[in-house]
Chain A
Amino acid sequence: MIIFECTPFKNVITKSIEIFENWTNHKCKLENCLYKIKNISPLNLAELKILNPLKEELNTSPLQPEIDFEKTKIDECKCGKGIIYSAKDLANILKNKIINQIKFSEMPIFITNDFIAEFDKNDRRWHLRYAFFYFPTIISIQGIINAPAKPREYYIYIAKGIPTELIPENLKSKFLTETDKRLPRVLAGIMLQAYAFYILKYPFCDNKNCSLFNAHWQEDLLNSQKDEPYILCDKHNFLLKKN
């Protein structure tokens, strides 16, 4: 597996790789940020910006400050400021940049702090994602923290204008933050999903206790991404140390 890292989260990613390698005996090769090493065009990134959560159209005519922002973002590692990008279009740009140098069997994963989303043709709106399973797979740190919904009480507090800092501690424990000690384990579980995608062509499992569970709530994510009662269910356990 080739991991293109997100530099500000290097420590978290290193811990996640340790956990993942220990589970699978599969060695990971760590590389620099894919945006940087492949000279991704700031204009192309600005064009992938989602403007309205209810409209499929992207930012077809970026303004110069938007392009400048993308350049600064890459140069200064300022991903995750709040701009959301079309996951599919981003993955396609990255695919075209690596397809001649990296094989599918090398399982490339780009870990970024940028937000990514997919447009659902059924409910006609964009949905934040923690990962987009493709070649390469994109895992979004901000997506892990923000895509699976937090408990309903959290949004009631926010709607009342109560700042995040003043939310009760017992509620805060029910969702992840950027500095959360549980983040490396959760990220390792999502790396397992990418691993399953590359081997089985499908990353998910319906079992709520399996690390391959596609969680839409933070509480479900935290429940599935722990070692008890098991890391992977009976059906997927073969992925651990046997492949």
Chain B
Amino acid sequence: MEEKFSKVSEKEITRSIISGFAKDFEKFVDTDVIVVGGGPSGLMAAREIAMNGKKALVIERNNYLGGGFWIGGYLMNKITVRHPGETILDELKIPYEKSVEGLFVTDGPHACSKLIAAACDAGVKILNMTTIEDVVLRENGQVAGVVINWTPVQALPRQITCVDPVALESKIVIDATGHDANVLKYLVERGIIKIKGFGAMWVEKSEDMVVEYTSEVHPGLIVTGMAVSTCFGLPRMGPTFGAMLLSGKKAGEIALKKLK
């Protein structure tokens, strides 16, 4: 049988993986913005930054990107977006239908894959299967990067995975880690900042507040998405995503303003 694929040996494939990864990794060891969390708000923030010519790196602890954006409420893969969230769907060319006045519905897999592609097309780089272990702080308390390690290192017993982490530097860090607020918690542990924890679910009011409160909470640290709720004690949201997209976009805009 005639072979259609080029003849390449195993060692060439391995070398390509190593050199390709090392090239990108070296380039992003020092970057403009590190976005921790690759859900809808994190991807939107990173895309906004990269589209405007700045370097944005997304750190995602899972193998997959998109967070909860693949699937809506109760394991049903329809995503709902309340007005004005559909403006982002238009921007990303994601098809959707109007359900009732002010409410729009789209397919989770289609919307999520489009968002990931839009971020990558804009120039965002992704480090998946990577978990943050700490933040980099400068003398004046400015957040100046994150300390990372491979996700599997944390998943295994310490006696067989005693692997030191490495640090990445950036001008700004965005916490897009959802309710866990994983970046903020390192500042809380040091007594640098006090956060409030999220409240009970209140769909009607929570979306506005998440966007409204998306901000720089500490020098060098911006919060977006559900991390905003945890930071400011806002109500939880239901299975609706407009605020995640708009909060991410706003976080990106704040970062760009800071970088000027």
The number of residues on chain B lying at the interface, defined by a beta carbon within 8 Å of a beta carbon of chain A, is 36
B27 contacts chain A at the CB level, 8 A cutoff: no
Does B17 count as interface, using CB distance less than 8 angstroms?
no
Chain A: minimal CB distance from B115 (Å): 21
- A53, A81, A163, A166: the one contacting B203 at CB < 8 Å is A163
Chain B residues near A160: list those with CB within 8 A: 74
A165-B102, A166-B99 known; A69 vs B212 contact (CB < 8 Å): yes
> Which of A49, A64, A163: most chain B CB closer than 10 A?
A163
Residues of A within 8 A of B153 (CB): none
Report the tally of A-B residue pairs with Cβ distances under 8 A.
68
- Interface centre among B199, B217, B234, by most A CB within 10 Å? B199
Residue pair B215, A51 in contact (C-beta under 8 Å): no
Q: Say if the beta carbon of B21 comes within 8 Å of chain A.
A: no
B200 partner residues in chain A, CB cutoff 8 A: 53
Interface residues of A in 102-121 (CB under 8 A from B): none
A81 to B149 CA separation, bound complex (whole angstroms): 39
CB closest chain-B residue, reference A159: B201
B26 CB → nearest A CB, Å: 35
B73 interfacial contact with A, CB 8 Å: yes
- The 8 Å CB contact of A59, one of B208, B213, B231, B233, is B233
Whether A163 and B209, one on each chain, are in contact in the complex, defined by CB atoms closer than 8 angstroms, is: no
Taking CB as reference atom, which chain A residue is nearest B74? A161
A-contacting residues, B187-218, CB 8 Å: 193-194, 196-197, 199-200, 202-206, 208-209, 212-213, 215-217
Cα(A166)–Cα(B238), bound, Å:
15
Partner of B231, one of A63, A81, A163: A63
- Determine which of B72, B103, B194, B206 lies in contact with A82 in the assembled complex, contact meaning CB atoms within 8 Å: B206
Interface positions of A from 40 to 75, Cβ below 8 Å from B: 49, 51-53, 59, 61, 63-66, 68-69
Could you show 9 A-B contacts with beta carbons less than 8 Å apart? A52-B197, A59-B196, A63-B193, A63-B232, A160-B74, A161-B238, A163-B99, A165-B102, A166-B100
Q: Which B residues form the contact surface with A (CB < 8 A)?
A: 72-74, 80, 82, 99-103, 193-194, 196-197, 199-200, 202-206, 208-209, 212-213, 215-217, 231-235, 238-240
3 closest Cβ contacts across the A-B interface? A82-B205, A161-B73, A65-B215
